[in-house]
Amino acid sequence: MAVSVASLGIDQLTVAERLELIEQIWDSLPEQVEPSDIPEWHRVELAHRRADAEAKPGVGKPWREVLDKLDGGS
């Protein structure tokens, strides 16, 4: 049986329950991921984004800067 929202009964949960489940699943993931665990399409997308960022320096913002603003930093 394929795993799906319906087969697991997730579609019966409230929004708050689904968000809690997402948090629990996220927290259950290991800190380090083996390269073999990363889908090939993720690697392709990351390579594309890296190349795009290198081709357009200064267009985006570093992730840390964005997070600092969200956390109330300068």
| Mean pLDDT, 10 residues at a time, the chain of 74 residues | 89 96 93 87 94 90 88 71
pLDDT of residue 47: 95
pLDDT of residue 50: 92
Q: What secondary structure does DSSP assign to the chain, as a single string?
A: ----TTTTTGGGS-HHHHHHHHHHHHHHS-SS--GGGS-HHHHHHHHHHHHHHHHSTTSS--HHHHHHHHTT--
pLDDT of residue 73: 64
pLDDT of residue 55: 94
Lookup: tokens for 15: 């929004």
pLDDT of residue 40: 93
